Amino acid sequence: MAQTATRSKPASRGGTKSRRGSVRGSGGGQFAGESPELLQDYFHEMTLIRRFEERAAQGYTQAKIGGYCHLNLGEEATVVGLMRSLRSSDLLYTNYREHGYAIAKGIEPGRVMAELYGRTTGTSKGWGGSMHMFDVAAGLLGGYGIVGGQVPLATGAALAIDYRGGDQVVMCQMGDGTTNIGAFHEALNIAALWQLPVVFVVVNNQLGMGTTVDKSSAESDLYKRAAAYRMHGERVDGNDVLAVRDAATRLVEQARSGGGPALLEAVSERLKGHSVVDPAKYRSEESVEKAKQADPVANFRAQLIEAGIVDEDAASEIERKAQAEADAAVAFADDSPHPDPSTLFDYTYATPVANDSRRLPADPVF
């Protein structure tokens, strides 16, 4: 049965089984029960996403990336924690801040960067760009440029899974601003009414573009909005990769077993502006400093060293590896070909359509 939304504490991590490697004892310590190899893997993936996004920002300023470009800087713990809760067969719908999700869902960084560069080796063959990642094989069914555009589609995918009797779960990621649009409420209502296998995740970086949640939402505890639909809702620290993983895993498996949908609010800090070109002048110095102090990558690194999971040299080696992977992704994108203009209309329709127009802007009407 659905539960009334409450502010719940992150799930206990003591004794949690790792997905590979040896499991530490269930004694004291914040990493009790966790595999050292898995923790290092999380740190590597978080660092890779950070370095990838830094190179994406550089590519944008070099005019190698066109259109809009929104980065996951500061949200790496949320990204990795959420993706580690999913099976490879589960489906993911995201908003336009999706580069890190694509990588964490298993798409090669080079293909993600190539899509940003508009090259044929990208996830959408270069036609989608930053805001429209798509890879059926990886289960990423789109980044969406329209705020909230992914929410009804994710709900529809969950309906299809339920109709067919499958065991997949849909995760639908969105920003805090999406919770104020009609499609959000319509989708949650249908999902709860029909008990669909979908987990809605609000990544609350506390700034819908340039407006704080407190100034844009009458109910600023966004997870409580689930209560209107008798859906379970909870909040988790988005800067804690293990807390996010554990909370998301619990809700995903609840949905998978027929327990219905849920709303998870992951609270994090955005390190940069809304997009690459946003100087974020609306933020106070105190807000910027708070975000820096909450940096999940730097803090996780320090925690791993303090716990003896890695030493300084091992942490630096992981960082060097991540930097090399990000640099290789850029090199792959740079070396990939641009789409030929003649292929512009090749993917307008999934199947051939009689008399579809293929006229380019400079072509005569007749």
- Tell me the average pLDDT of the chain: 90
8 Å CB contact between 72 and 46: no
Q: Which range has the worst mean pLDDT, 21-35, 136-150, 236-250?
A: 21-35
H or E, element range at 37: helix 36-61
pLDDT, tens digit, for every residue of 167-219? 999 999 999 999 999 999 999 999 999 999 999 999 999 888 888 888 889 89
Higher pLDDT residue, 15 or 236? 236
Q: Is the residue at 245 inside a domain? A: yes
1 pLDDT tier (thresholds 50, 70, 90): very low
30 pLDDT tier (thresholds 50, 70, 90): confident
Q: Is the residue at 363 inside a domain? A: no
Higher pLDDT residue, 319 or 214? 319
pTM across the whole model: 0.89
Q: Is the residue at 265 inside a domain? A: yes
The CATH number assigned to the domain holding 239 equals: 3.40.50.970
pLDDT, tens digit, for every residue of 89-100? 999 999 999 999
Q: Is the residue at 63 inside a domain? A: yes
Number of domains in the chain: 1
Higher pLDDT residue, 281 or 330? 330
Q: Is the residue at 174 inside a domain? A: yes
8 Å CB contact between 92 and 101: yes
Q: Is the residue at 185 inside a domain? A: yes
With a cut of 60, say whether residue 11 has pLDDT above it.
no
With a cut of 90, say whether residue 364 has pLDDT above it.
no
- Provide the domain limits for residue 202: 36-336
Higher pLDDT residue, 90 or 356? 90
Higher pLDDT residue, 344 or 234? 234
pLDDT, tens digit, for every residue of 38-79? 999 999 999 999 999 999 999 999 999 999 999 999 999 999
Sequence-ordered list of residues with C-beta below 8 angstroms from that of 261, at least 6 positions apart, any chain: 2, 158, 188, 191, 192, 195, 196, 197, 198, 199, 200, 231, 255
With a cut of 90, say whether residue 25 has pLDDT above it.
no
287 pLDDT tier (thresholds 50, 70, 90): confident
Q: Is the residue at 251 inside a domain? A: yes
Beta strand spans in the chain (E): 91-94, 140-143, 170-175, 198-204, 207-208, 211-212, 232-237, 262-267
